[in-house]
Amino acid sequence: MAKSKRALGRGIGAILEDVEEAYRQDIEDKSNLIQEIDVDSIIPNIYQPRSYFNEEALKELSESIKKHGLLQPVIVVKKDDGYMLIAGERRLRATKLANLETIKAIVADIESENLRELALIENIQREDLNPIELANAYRELIEQYNITHDELSNIIHKSRAQITNTLRLLNLSKKTKMLLVEGKISQGHAKVLVGLDKKEEESVVNTILGQKLSVRDTEMIVKQIKEGKSSKNEQKSKTKHTYIKELDFAVKKLSHLGIKSKKRDNKLIIEFKNSKEVEKFLNKFEV
């Protein structure tokens, strides 16, 4: 039975409109939309798609917050005696790194059942997720809401091709995905690697790292690999065709000699009813 589709995007517009309105306001404006809350009262969102945070970038953001303050508030929801983060984990981490006790936040009024949806969509639209985190976020939305790539494209305003190509990165090996997350290879490199078998992928990745190949150079290497495989497959097909024809000829030849045989699974099977037939067959090859 097909899984029914759940509605996607409920409440997103209103939340993001509040954020935009808050961003447009002067930092010194004591709006009801923005509150100063204790950073220790905020717990992470378990649905946060981001799993990798560049330490150097966090330090730079932390220094900026120390100097200029936090220009864009985080988004939280009430949770027990504190708050749960919806969006802005980099800003929260950088604020903690700056040893600040409070942070500017918008306290959203949203039902808890929408937390996963909000975290995924808000991060896709607003945060600089690495390609693997983005692919995981796309996959979770597609699986959670049983939607197509086209439907997701309309919701998050990304092209279908971009979504499909990003999802294909999840087929890469664990090692290659980590190199992509760490920025040691680019998304352009990674896209070229999709479709290679694991040994070929590892070989090309090592070449990229060892020789600092550009995406164009990588495309040339992968093209040569694929053309070589195509040539081998074509030759294998021709050889197999010739082999089958030869088996057919052997069956006919043995039949003319009064020997019963047949072809099965590319093998020649000779049938004997008794030892006399075996002896007769062997006598035909005596010199």
Q: What is the CATH classification number for the domain harbouring 89?
A: 3.90.1530.30
Is residue 98 one of the residues assigned to a domain?
yes
Domain count, the chain: 1
Model confidence over 124-151: pLDDT tens digits?
665 567 889 889 888 887 887 788 898 8
Is residue 26 one of the residues assigned to a domain?
yes
Is residue 135 one of the residues assigned to a domain?
no
Model confidence over 106-131: pLDDT tens digits?
777 665 445 556 556 666 665 567 88
Is residue 148 one of the residues assigned to a domain?
no
Six-digit token string for 34: 């923005």
Catalytic, out of 63, 89, 140, 246: 89
Closest to 184 in 3D by CA, of 157, 224, 222, 213: 213
Q: What are phi and psi of 101, to 5 degrees?
A: -90, -25
The parent domain of residue 45 ranges over 12-111
Is residue 93 one of the residues assigned to a domain?
yes
Instruction: Yes or no: say if 106 and 33 are a contact pair by the CB < 8 Å rule.
Output: yes
- How far from the centroid of its chain's Cα atoms is residue 82's Cα? 34
- Please tell me the total number of residues recorded for the chain in this structure: 287
Instruction: Yes or no: say if 104 and 73 are a contact pair by the CB < 8 Å rule.
Output: yes
3-class DSSP state of 276: helix
The Cα–Cα gap between 57 and 96 comes to 14
Is residue 122 one of the residues assigned to a domain?
no
Based on the residue annotation, tell me whether 89 is a catalytic residue of this protein: yes
Is residue 195 one of the residues assigned to a domain?
no
Is residue 41 one of the residues assigned to a domain?
yes
Q: Measured between alpha carbons, how far is residue 53 from residues 120, 129, 165 in Å? A: 16, 9, 23
Question: pTM to 2 decimals?
Answer: 0.50
Q: Is the model's pLDDT at 4 over the cut of 80? A: no
